[in-house]
Structure 1
Amino acid sequence: MIAKHIPIRSLRKSDFANLVTYITDAQNKTERLGQVQITNCEASSLQDAIMDVMATQRINTRATGDKTYHLLVAFPAGENPSASVLKEIEERLCTGLGYGEHQRISALHHDTDHLHIHIAINKIHPTRHTMHEPFQAYRTLGDLCTELEQLHGLQQVNHAFCHRISENRALDMEKHSGLESLVSWIKRTCLNELSSAQSWKELHEVLHKNGLELRERANGFVIEADEGPMVKASTIARDFSKQKLETRLGPFEAFLEQKGQKRRQYQKEPLRLRVNTSALYAKYKIEQQTLRESQEVALKKIQRHMDREIKAAKRANCLRRATIKVIGEGRAVKKLLYAQASYALRTEIQTISKKYQKERQDLYGTHKRCTWADWLQKEAIQGNVEALAVLRACEGTRCLKGNTVQGEGQPRHGPIPVIDTITKKGTIIFRAGMSAVRDDGNKLQVSREATFDGLQEALRLALKRYGNRITVNGTALFKAQIIRAAVNSQHPITFTDPVLERRRQDIRCTLLKKENTHERSEHDRGCDRERTRRGTGHAESSIVTKHDATRVGLPDGRNNADSIITQKSNIKRIGRIPPPQSQHRLRTLSQLDVVRIPDRGEVLLPHDVPHHVEQQGTKPDHALRRRISKPGMNQKWLKGIGRPKHFRYTTGDDSVAGSSKGSIKKSKRRR
């Protein structure tokens, strides 16, 4: 694991919003953007978090440095820690740098050979509003990476400081551009001769023969090439620092111009690889030169149009001022009109300048020059096989590790599926359903989640490129998934591992038996239905008609009327107990026992708890009955009119609510 601070080259280009927009841009790639995490921000959405950070940065008006910290965390090829481990690594690194409470936004990227995280940190504290700049962050990051590698069992990376900062920059330039730096060229061509020089004259002669010159600059020495680039002498080797050279060779002696012929000269050329890149690099230089010339022509054209419009605006303004001069108005009015004319001219010129500034920016975007490595990537995506071979021949290119699929045959070039991207090491990443498959020329790997579509696509490509003998490397789960995908896809594949091949054949035989059994059972059911139909004649009747009898080959119904009366086969007697699926239906619901299962525990309530809290019992439903207890209901009975006395309903009486004893007796007599 490597953690590195990426500083901004120009302070005026520092912008937290632009950085977050870059790291969260998927660029229409399936494998680029992973999880995006917002930390220590009040907002939940990405745009609101950016505005929150920008507002916090604007509060601090005293800080003059860069207010944004860009941290990059990269892992070795083939290493994919889990989401929880990545989150803990981010938290530990930010806390170790002193940014534990600061606002930050991180994004996980998968579009290169190395899994990496971009972290955009706000240097301004959200509550104290002070800017924090860590001291010697590279040392702190190296120690933290060592601890985290040991804690989570990650691959050990050498975090010792083997190179100086300037040398590291030269190495980074080589990795990104693919061109040999001046430092590497000097070390390769004349380092031994420079180290063996015994005087200033010999040292200058060696440098001159190689098209170099040693000059004093500030408090040290620099080595400058004829084409312009220069490096510090101490970057080549520590023995070439000013102090050590003067100690070994005496006081510095300037170089006296000589007319000797130069043996070689530094030129920006591709790094030396196993393949010849002369033709491709010549094509690259021609394209870049053509692009540069077309860009210059377009810029000159834009500049001419802008000058023409500005001149037209100035002519119109001169005419306007001349008109103001001849009108017969007062001095104050003319002064106001002149001011309006000047303001209108300035506004129009600003509008014209903004318009053509946008056109220039669009032109730079369409005529953007690219490095040698980027040009190779573009050519490889367009199908240039030679460019792809150059990318795969770069130093440091390693085969894919982990869960991979490989064939025994020689790689064969053919049509490639939808390409998502191609890395600078020549690994092709193309889409396969919801996942992606990586191809380095020798092995295939299903990146991230191994989906069924991705596994089938990997097997199809392996069969197409390497033949039908496939080697599978990885975990036991991955091998089992590959076997299942191979069986389901029905590809003519043979695994080189005898255990995997035996397992594939067993699963295939089992599936074939199930299919045959299913087909046989379907066939038998169809035959049974046909026999039943022929035996019964019609679905609604057991008597075969004359037409049916003739159609199925039975005797004519006129001559054999009794013989065509048949019965259904397998008819059993009617039982007294219904089948299980017909038991406990609504008809017998009142006869079934009921079991009560309380959902919650039952407890006794204390004596001081109000009565309405406990479970309420059954209440009377007098509101549904006749109101027999009204005053005056028995007034006629008291007066002797002959009306029986009314009484309330009770459970033990054979009566109904609102009845009288006389009516009850009459009803009994009727019975």
Structure 2
Amino acid sequence: MIPHVIKLSKSGPTKGVFVEPVQYAARDDLESKAKGLKPILLEDMGCVNLDFDLDSEEERLWAAGVMSTSARRSTRFQGNPVYHVSISWPEGEHPTREQCEKTVHHFMRGVGMEENEAFWAIHRDTDNDHLHMIVNKVHPERGIVTGPPRFDYALLHRLAREVELDQGWSHDVGAYVVTKSNPGEPKIMRRDIAVKMGLWKEEEIRRPNVSSHAHAAAQRLGAEPFQVWIAGQPAKDLRDAIHQPGATWESAHQALAKHGLCIEPKGSGMVVTSTLADGQVVAAKASQLGRWASKAALERKLGPYRPPSAHAEQAAHSYQEHVESTKTRSEHRHAEEPATDAKRATRREERARAREDLAKRFEAEQKRWKESRMQMRSDLRERHLGERKQLQADLRDERKSALAKDKADGVPFKVSQSLFAYRAALRREELQKRQALERRAMAVEVRRSLDWRAWLEKQAEQGDEAAKAALRGLRYREQRKSKKYQEQDGIEGEELDPLRKLTVAALHAEVDDKRQLVIYRGHDGREKFTDTGPRIVMHDKADDTLEAALRVAAQKYGGKVDITGSTEFRERAARQAVRLGIKVANADLQAIVADEQARMHQQRAPAWATKESRGPGQTQERKRSEPGSSEKTSDLSPEIGDKPTPQSARPAPRERSAALPEKQATALAPISLKQAMEQAMEQWLDGDRSSAPVKAFIAAHDRATRLGANGHTLIAEVVDRVVTRRGDGVDADLGGFMASIERQRKREQGMGR
């Protein structure tokens, strides 16, 4: 978990006021209502050292008022008494109310404020569950400030590591980290000390710092922040250009112009800018390209700044093009590879067309939005002006009647004027406040341009599958670039079908439509793994959970997966995937895949097929069934399957397999025969409706049974492997294939008679 102190104003109109932070945490504020956000549930909020039910907005306002009154007991404290801390859990971790309460008490005790008043609420409608803890720095009885201590950043991170260990959460990185100097003994250490002792390795590559404005712009555009984008290929091209012999400022301008960028002085430094299609200019400090790109470093290298020439080179790939391509391309790394079968190729084309259509709809909607924005604001101004004029006219009429009535009642004229002026001032103030709220609501609702992500969320709520897939792609891209991505155990692949629940034995699936997740739980209610769309995140590492996750991944991703996480998990998952017939795409795991395939081949070889025990007939039969045999016969040949094998080759294996259990007897079938059955079935499913795949399947099946395999179990295993790779949608085609086999059998029996 990551703690973060939300900075507040030390003085001004918000000093000592707990209403706004409490309303924000409980989602009672105007901005949350304008966005349509639902109030926080009663079980997801609470208070400490306050006696309020919190079951209504009025109750929460009373609680905030009591905290403000307690803060005024301190006459010497001149700062802001609101201590607002946000505590965020990693994606996939969802604390209960009891765990939230324990976390709040532990943090308050850690900063020395356990006797102070506090309000807390947890937000669960974002990618990461996060808790807002609002504490009064002033003690409610003693009237003195009891916390927090200075430099509370490091202390909060230590408290977070303690809660992680106590409640079993994964460990985030901060001023303190969890190390394991001794196996099974986690220890909390300062990160700098852990690095010096060799117990913690800092990241070698640091991503550029991104401002809040850049983050907001990236959310609106649906692409990575401009400050991050320029640190990639544009920075590389600029660095190569200025390090060429005889480089000048014109060389730098030409290198950046290829990406639609311009560099110019601003203040005491330099900025890099790019203009978007709507005329908006995005900018970043030149030092975001690297320390070598600061103003001082560039002028030492190139001399005093010179503006570019009038003829700028045409941009080959600008930030605008990057934004547009982000909306229409697939985020998965294997999206450009050829599809493994015709159905996946068709689904890939359909998904690409859906993304393009979604982007066009967004552009059209944004154009309409901009056209209507000015009109909506103009209508609001005219309505407000009309209301003010109407109030002025009403007060003018009311003043005459009020003064006449007071005169008749004997009220002095000056007193009557003063009373009416007071009532008129109240009316004007009421109108001004209402209009101010309407303008703020309009500013929230009617922004300059549509937010790509917010628009996707709105379309997804209406059931648009393309928008749902785009949302999952955005989250996948963000996760892939996070620090914990490669450390998190998971399975991923190219998602081409809508997110849905898949039937997995002993697991219960729950669909989270808001976050576009499918959570798989065990009988104990604990999360086993989460399907986020392009990625399956593992929470439980048991063998049965891993097998279930791999089977789900095979159905979703067409039998081809990438495996991420720790070395131990990746090796274990790769071996299990090979046993299930699932292709592993990771290049660095191919040695493990080959080793597991060789081990499986060795295990499936019949125990009786040794050099000492096999006779001449057995040797010949074994030679024909081995893969890579130099015999001219083929495992897919129907003629060989129909020919009876010599009687001398059968007695030993039949007698041997009769004493074996059914599952072990099935394993005696040489691996090439089972593969031949799978190949024949795959050939039929790919569209070959001739008799060739049917005869090949029958031939391989008959040879395997003559070698001692159980026919029914063997067919069940082959069908299970094919369904695992292709998904449940092949059930109907498999039924037709099995019916063709039955007809072929009857024809062969008829010819025999």
Map residues 57-456 of structure 1 onto 2, 5 A cutoff.
Answer: 57-59=71-73, 66-80=80-94, 86-97=100-111, 99-126=113-140, 127-130=142-145, 135-146=150-161, 148-149=163-164, 154-159=169-174, 166-167=209-210, 169=212, 172-173=215-216, 177=220, 178-195=222-239, 196-197=241-242, 198-208=247-257, 210-217=260-267, 219-226=268-275, 227-250=280-303, 252-255=304-307, 258-263=310-315, 265-267=318-320, 269=323, 272=326, 274=330, 277-314=355-392, 346-361=425-440, 363=442, 367=446, 371-394=451-474, 395-396=477-478, 421-423=513-515, 426-427=516-517, 440-441=532-533
Q: What residue in structure 1 maps to residue 619 of structure 2?
A: none
C-alpha change, 1:397 and 1:389, in structure 2 (3 Å) is farther
1:280 offset after TM fit, Å?
2.4
C-alpha change, 1:62 and 1:297, in structure 2 (3 Å) is farther
Q: Does 1:45 align with 2:98?
A: no
Letter in 1 for 2:514: I
Q: Distance in 2 between matches of 1:337 and 1:412?
A: 72
Q: Is the Cα–Cα contact under 8 Å of residues 2 and 160 in structure 2 kept in the other structure?
A: yes
Report the identity percentage.
22
C-alpha change, 1:341 and 1:51, in structure 2 (3 Å) is closer
Letter in 2 for 1:167: V
Q: Distance in 1 between matches of 2:306 and 2:139?
A: 52
- Could you give the per-residue CA deviations for residues 543-583 of structure 1, whole angstroms, max 9, x where no partner exists? xxxxxxxxxxxxxxxxxxxxxxxxxxxxxxxxxxxxxxxxx
Q: Distance in 1 between matches of 2:363 and 2:526?
A: 34
Q: Is the Cα–Cα contact under 8 Å of residues 208 and 228 in structure 2 kept in the other structure?
A: no
C-alpha change, 1:173 and 1:265, in structure 2 (3 Å) is same
C-alpha change, 1:34 and 1:153, in structure 2 (3 Å) is same
Letter in 2 for 1:274: S
SS state at 2:133 partner: strand
Q: Distance in 1 between matches of 2:501 and 2:224?
A: 33
Q: Distance in 2 between matches of 1:31 and 1:314?
A: 41
Q: Distance in 1 between matches of 2:418 and 2:209?
A: 56
C-alpha change, 1:144 and 1:362, in structure 2 (3 Å) is closer
Question: Could you say which structure has the larger radius of gyration?
Answer: 1
SS state at 1:167 partner: coil
TM-score of the superposition, structure 1-length normalised? 0.52
Q: Distance in 1 between matches of 2:2 and 2:459?
A: 30
- Could you give the per-residue CA deviations for residues 381-406 of structure 1, whole angstroms, max 9, x where no partner exists? 2111101111222315589x99x9x9
Q: Is the Cα–Cα contact under 8 Å of residues 222 and 231 in structure 1 kept in the other structure?
A: yes
Q: Distance in 1 between matches of 2:164 and 2:153?
A: 16
Q: Distance in 2 between matches of 1:359 and 1:384?
A: 31
Letter in 2 for 1:213: I
C-alpha change, 1:234 and 1:114, in structure 2 (3 Å) is same
Q: Is the Cα–Cα contact under 8 Å of residues 109 and 116 in structure 1 kept in the other structure?
A: yes
Q: Distance in 1 between matches of 2:501 and 2:104?
A: 41
Of 316-325 and 255-264, more deviation after overlay is shown by 316-325
Q: Distance in 2 between matches of 1:143 and 1:270?
A: 43
Q: What residue in structure 2 maps to residue 469 of structure 1?
A: none
C-alpha change, 1:258 and 1:366, in structure 2 (3 Å) is closer
Q: Distance in 2 between matches of 1:446 and 1:31?
A: 29
- Could you give the per-residue CA deviations for residues 489-517 of structure 1, whole angstroms, max 9, x where no partner exists? xxxxx9x999xxxxxxxxxxxxxxxxxxx
Map residues 531-570 of structure 1 onto 2, 5 A cutoff.
Answer: none
Q: Distance in 2 between matches of 1:348 and 1:49?
A: 29
- Could you give the per-residue CA deviations for residues 607-640 of structure 1, whole angstroms, max 9, x where no partner exists? xxxxxxxxxxxxxxxxxxxxxxxxxxxxxxxxxx
Q: Distance in 1 between matches of 2:144 and 2:66?
A: 13
SS state at 1:4 partner: strand
- Could you give the per-residue CA deviations for residues 507-548 of structure 1, whole angstroms, max 9, x where no partner exists? xxxxxxxxxxxxxxxxxxxxxxxxxxxxxxxxxxxxxxxxxx
1:77 offset after TM fit, Å?
3.2
1:414 offset after TM fit, Å?
7.8
C-alpha change, 1:147 and 1:238, in structure 2 (3 Å) is farther
C-alpha change, 1:337 and 1:2, in structure 2 (3 Å) is closer
Q: Distance in 2 between matches of 1:12 and 1:436?
A: 47
Q: Is the Cα–Cα contact under 8 Å of residues 226 and 319 in structure 2 kept in the other structure?
A: yes
C-alpha change, 1:25 and 1:149, in structure 2 (3 Å) is same
TM-score of the superposition, structure 2-length normalised? 0.47
C-alpha change, 1:260 and 1:389, in structure 2 (3 Å) is same
Structure having the larger proportion of residues in helix: 2
**Long gaps (5+) in structure 2:** 29-35, 55-59, 175-201, 332-351, 503-508, 541-547, 557-716, 722-753
Q: Is the Cα–Cα contact under 8 Å of residues 317 and 341 in structure 1 kept in the other structure?
A: no
- Could you give the per-residue CA deviations for residues 310-343 of structure 1, whole angstroms, max 9, x where no partner exists? 3355557778999999xx99xx977777767766
Q: Is the Cα–Cα contact under 8 Å of residues 9 and 80 in structure 2 kept in the other structure?
A: no
Q: Distance in 2 between matches of 1:320 and 1:412?
A: 65
Q: Distance in 2 between matches of 1:318 and 1:82?
A: 60
- Could you give the per-residue CA deviations for residues 178-202 of structure 1, whole angstroms, max 9, x where no partner exists? 3332212212341112224154443
1:82 offset after TM fit, Å?
6.8
1:128 offset after TM fit, Å?
4.2
Q: Distance in 1 between matches of 2:306 and 2:158?
A: 44
SS state at 2:228 partner: helix
Q: Distance in 1 between matches of 2:53 and 2:119?
A: 11
Of 187-196 and 339-348, more deviation after overlay is shown by 339-348
SS state at 1:187 partner: coil
Letter in 1 for 2:261: G
Q: Paired residues, what number?
A: 457
Q: Distance in 1 between matches of 2:112 and 2:299?
A: 43
Q: Is the Cα–Cα contact under 8 Å of residues 102 and 122 in structure 1 kept in the other structure?
A: yes
Q: Is the Cα–Cα contact under 8 Å of residues 429 and 436 in structure 1 kept in the other structure?
A: no
Letter in 2 for 1:53: M
C-alpha change, 1:317 and 1:34, in structure 2 (3 Å) is closer
SS state at 1:306 partner: helix
Q: What residue in structure 2 maps to residue 539 of structure 1?
A: none
C-alpha change, 1:32 and 1:265, in structure 2 (3 Å) is farther
Q: Is the Cα–Cα contact under 8 Å of residues 31 and 436 in structure 1 kept in the other structure?
A: no
RMSD over equivalenced CA pairs, Å: 5.9
Q: 1:17 aligns with which of 12, 16, 19?
A: 19
Q: Is the Cα–Cα contact under 8 Å of residues 208 and 231 in structure 2 kept in the other structure?
A: no
Q: Distance in 2 between matches of 1:205 and 1:248?
A: 16
